[in-house]
Amino acid sequence: MKSAVASLFAGLLFGFGLIVSGMANPEKVLGFLDIAGLWDPSLAFVMGGAVIVGLVTFTFARKRTLSFLGFDMKVPGHTHIDKRLIVGGLLFGIGWGIAGFCPGPGLVALGAGEVKAMVFVASMVAGMGIFEILERRKAAFRFAEH
Amino acid sequence: MIDIAWSSFTPWTALAGGVLVGLAAASFLLLNGRIAGISGILGGLLTPSAGDIGWRIAFLAGLIGAPALWALAAKLPPIEIEAGYPALIIAGLLVGIGTRYGSGCTSGHGVCGLSRLSPRSLAATLSFMFAGFVTVFIIRHVLGV
C-alpha cells in the first residue's frame, strides 16, 4: 500500500514534468529530432534538468541498501553492452522519430484524452506483447534443444 | 549549420519540467528503491506476478491522471499529433518491441541510466537518439513528408 501511494505520487510528478516541459507534445519532440530543419533544443534542457537532479540522488542512494520505505534497492547491475541493447534502442528510436512519442509522453497524451495517443499506446502495448511471445518461443526452443 | 527555432525554443520551462521529472525519478528511487523506467513498469504488467502489480498500476495511473489533475488548475498546453493512424500504429509497435528488447526507454536509460553514469544506458541512449535523428531526417528531408 505504501509503495502504491509513493508510485502514484511519482507518476503524477513525472506527468507534470512532461506537461511543463512541453514533452507531452510530439511536435516539440520532433522539433528536437529535426536537426536539419529549424532545431528546437528544448529536449536537451529537459534531459539536463532531470539528470542534474538524478546525479545527486543516485550518488546519495548508492550507499543505501534499503529505501526510505524499507524496500530493497533494486538498481540494475548489468554493465554489458550487447546486440539486444543496441538493436532494441535503434528500433525504439525509429518508432520515436516516426510519431514523436516515447512511452511516458504517449501515456500522458492518452490521459489528456487524445484519441491518436490511445491508438499509439494500444499499439505499443501490442508491441510489448509481441516481444513477450517471441521471448517465450525462444526460451521454449532452447529448452527443446537440451 | 544548425538553425535554432527561437520561436519554439523554451529553455526555462524545459529545464523546470526536467527538474520535475528528475524529482519524480528521485522520489521513486528513494521511496520504492526502484528505477522509474516507464517501458519496464508498463511491460512488466504483461507477465504479472503476485505483489508486483499494484505499484506498477499506481505509477501509470499517476502518469495518465496528471493531465486531468493539471486541467483542474490550469489550461493544458497544446498536444499536436501530426502522424496519421498507420504511422502511429507502426511507431507504437516499434516503440513497444524496441524498448522491451533494449530494456528501457527515455526514462529508464535516458534519465535514470545517465544519472547513474551507466555506460550501458549511455549506449542505449545514443542508439535511440541516433535512430530518432536519422528517422526524422529521412521523413522530413528525404521523403519530404
pLDDT, tens digit, 9 for 90 and up, residues A117-126: 999 999 999 9
- Alpha carbon A113 to its chain's center: 20
Q: Do B2 and A39 touch (CB under 8 A)?
A: yes
- Among B14, B137, B115, B44, smallest CA distance to A61 is for B115
Cβ within 8 Å of residue A98, ≥6 positions away: B83, B87, B90, B91, B94, B135, B139
- Across the interface, do B15 and A103 touch by the CB < 8 Å criterion? no
Higher pLDDT, B14 or A3: B14
| Pick from A47, A98, A102: CB nearest B87 | A98
Confidence of residue A146 (pLDDT cuts 50, 70, 90): low
Q: What is the pLDDT of residue A139?
A: 87
Structural domain for B56, as ranges: 11-142
Q: How many domains does chain A have?
A: 1
Compute the average pLDDT of residues A131-146: 86
A77 in B contact zone (CB under 8 Å): no
pLDDT, tens digit, 9 for 90 and up, residues B80-128:
999 999 999 999 999 999 999 999 999 999 999 999 999 999 999 999 9
Contacts for A63 with CB less than 8 Å, ≥ 6 apart? none
Q: Is residue B5 included in any domain, yes or no?
A: no
Q: Which residues of A touch B92 (CB under 8 A)?
A: 95, 99, 101, 106, 119-124, 126-127
Domain count, chain B: 1
Q: Domain range for residue A54?
A: 2-145
Query: How many CB atoms lie under 10 A from the CB of residue A65?
Result: 7
| ipTM, two decimals | 0.96
Phi-psi region of B103 (alpha: psi -120 to 50; beta: other; left: phi over 0): left
In a domain, B106, yes or no: yes
Q: How many residues does chain A have?
A: 146
Distance in angstroms (rounded) separating the CA atoms of residues A107 and A123: 12
Residue A91 to residue B102, Cβ atoms within 8 A? yes
Identify whether B1 is part of a domain.
no
pLDDT in tens, A75-85: 887 889 999 99
Indicate whether B132 pLDDT > 80. yes
| Residues in chain B, total | 145
Distances (CA, A) of A103 to A143, B43, B64, B99: 33, 10, 11, 9
Give this prediction's pTM.
Answer: 0.95
Say yes or no: A19 contacts chain B, CB-CB below 8 A: yes
Tell me the per-residue pLDDT of B22-64, one tens digit each, with 9 for 90 and over.
Answer: 999 999 999 999 999 999 999 999 998 888 999 999 999 999 9
| Centroid of chain to Cα A24 | 13
